[in-house]
């Protein structure tokens, strides 16, 4: 059961990462276009997404089971990305927020802007946790079973 | 040594993940709560019935007061240009008050935050700007009106009220616009301090009725000088 859930969250976290990155990128670009600001200024908001993606790829390539088979970590990743998508959705579609109507941009930048700090905190937190999970003692039982098989 | 360090790394990793997990759940719950709070609808049918009657009575009073003057039958000694101008200005205000865009708010049985917000915007644009500033306040700059009897008595009253109602809805509008931010308004908080939907609507309604009271006073003054002069 645990393995099934872990597999599910492991796949889901990649999909949600792409979705949350896409939505954040869309809103930030619209925000900068409105203000006529240089697009380079949004890079700092996107770097944690890219770093996390790179780390996920490293986890996958080097089969770091400390991360890939960590149900709690995968669940937290899914939750964080799902919330970023939920906030992006609300910024665009929640018409009860009156500033969306007042400024007429179709996106409540004011609301989303409040959330950017939380996005960065959560993504950098996941990144640090991921790096720490990479350092893991070798599983002696696994080694022993391999030696037994060889024998 | 290496083993201890690895264990510490693992402990820290779980701590970080736990903190992020907690923060993520906190944001999830507060977003759901915030979304629900903004989607709240409040029944104001009974409140609106009373308000509608009250406003209609005041409108009738103003109509009766300004109907005492008819240029074709007026035989008094007062400046007819001044009397005509006052009547036209009060009539313009009546037209604005009786317009569909404002009367629609008395037909609502339930309101949400957007209704409260739109009511403030319409009140400010139509009543405050188009009626009070453009019509009533401008009377003080027209010589034929200022020379009418007792205008010097009603003029400070206009000044005081206009300056008061012009800014009295600022904080309500700001409150609603700031509701896009997260806040921790609980039910107890809403009952004791300020319910964003209900109190915003009733505060604006109070301002609206105060403005009508001022128009009634001006029309009373108008009636008294027409009948007396």
Are B112 and B189 members of one domain? yes
Are B47 and B34 members of one domain? no
Are B32 and B101 members of one domain? no
Q: Is B20 on the interface with A (CB under 8 A)?
A: yes
Instruction: Classify residue A138 by its DSSP letter.
Output: -
The model's pTM is: 0.80
Q: Is B9 on the interface with A (CB under 8 A)?
A: yes
Are B180 and B118 members of one domain? yes
Query: Which of A70-84, B23-37, B146-160 tops mean pLDDT?
Result: A70-84
Are B3 and B62 members of one domain? no
Residue B116 to residue B99: CA distance in whole angstroms: 18
Minimal C-alpha gap between A52 and chain B (Å):
14
Are B172 and B145 members of one domain? yes
> pLDDT at residue A98 above 90?
no
Are B75 and B138 members of one domain? yes
Buried-exposed string B31-62: b where 16+ CB fall within 10 A, e elsewhere? beebeebbeeebebeeebeebeeebeebbebb
What is the total count of domains within chain B?
Answer: 2
Using an 8 Å CB-CB cutoff, list chain A residues near B31: 83, 86-87, 90
Q: Which of A76, A82, A121 has the CB atom closest to B21's CB atom?
A: A76
Nearest 5°: the CA angle A91, A93, A98 is 70
Are B55 and B128 members of one domain? yes
What is the number of CB-based contacts under 8 A between chain A and chain B? 101
Q: Which of B7, B12, B177 has the CB atom closest to A102's CB atom?
A: B177
Using an 8 Å CB-CB cutoff, list chain A residues near B117: 98, 101
Are B64 and B113 members of one domain? yes
Helices (H), chain B: 2-38, 45-66, 80-97, 100-103, 113-122, 143-146, 151-168, 170-177, 187-192, 196-228
Are B98 and B83 members of one domain? yes
Q: Is A54 on the interface with B (CB under 8 A)?
A: no
- Residue-wise pLDDT for A28-81, tens only, equals 999 888 888 888 888 888 999 999 999 999 999 988 888 888 999 999 999 999
Are B5 and B98 members of one domain? no
**A133 near B10, Cβ under 8 Å?**
yes
Q: What's the complex ipTM?
A: 0.88
Q: Do B180 and A99 touch (CB under 8 A)?
A: yes
Which residue segment(s) compose the domain that B220 sits in?
A: 43-228
Minimal C-alpha gap between A149 and chain B (Å):
27
Are B25 and B74 members of one domain? no
């Amino acid at each position: 059961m645990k393995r099934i859930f872990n597999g599910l969250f492991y796949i889901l976290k990649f999909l949600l990462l792409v979705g949350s990155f896409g939505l954040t990128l869309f809103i930030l670009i619209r925000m900068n276009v409105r203000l006529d600001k240089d697009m380079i200024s949004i890079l700092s908001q996107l770097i944690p997404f890219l770093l996390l993606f790179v780390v996920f790829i490293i986890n996958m390539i080097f089969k770091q089971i400390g991360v890939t088979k960590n149900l709690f970590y995968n669940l937290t990743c899914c939750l964080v990305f799902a919330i970023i998508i939920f906030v992006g959705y609300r910024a665009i579609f929640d018409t009860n927020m009156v500033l969306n109507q007042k400024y007429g941009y179709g996106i409540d930048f004011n609301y989303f802007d409040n959330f950017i700090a939380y996005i960065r905190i959560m993504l950098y937190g996941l990144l640090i946790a991921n790096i720490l999970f990479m350092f893991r003692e070798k599983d002696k039982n696994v080694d022993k079973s391999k030696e037994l098989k060889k024998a | 040594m290496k083993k201890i360090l690895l264990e510490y790394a693992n402990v820290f990793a779980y701590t970080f993940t736990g903190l992020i997990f907690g923060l993520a759940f906190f944001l999830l719950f507060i977003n759901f709560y915030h979304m629900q709070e903004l989607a709240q609808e409040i029944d104001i049918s009974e409140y609106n019935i009373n308000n509608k009657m009250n406003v209609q009575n005041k409108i009738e009073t103003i109509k009766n007061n300004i109907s005492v003057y008819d240029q074709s039958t007026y035989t008094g000694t007062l400046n007819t240009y001044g009397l005509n101008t006052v009547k036209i200005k009060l009539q313009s205000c009546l037209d604005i008050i009786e317009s569909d865009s404002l009367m629609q708010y008395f037909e609502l049985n339930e309101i949400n935050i957007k209704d409260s917000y739109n009511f403030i915007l319409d009140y400010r644009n139509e009543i405050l700007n188009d009626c009070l500033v453009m019509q009533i306040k401008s009377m003080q700059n027209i010589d034929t009106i200022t020379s009418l009897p007792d205008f010097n008595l009603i003029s400070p009253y206009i000044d005081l009220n206009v300056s008061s109602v012009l800014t009295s809805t600022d904080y309500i509008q700001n409150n609603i616009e700031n509701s896009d931010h997260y806040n921790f308004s609980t039910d107890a908080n809403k009952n004791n301090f300020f319910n964003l939907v209900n109190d915003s609507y009733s505060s604006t309604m109070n301002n609206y009725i105060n403005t009508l009271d001022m128009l009634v006073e001006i029309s009373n003054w108008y009636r008294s000088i027409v009948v007396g002069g």
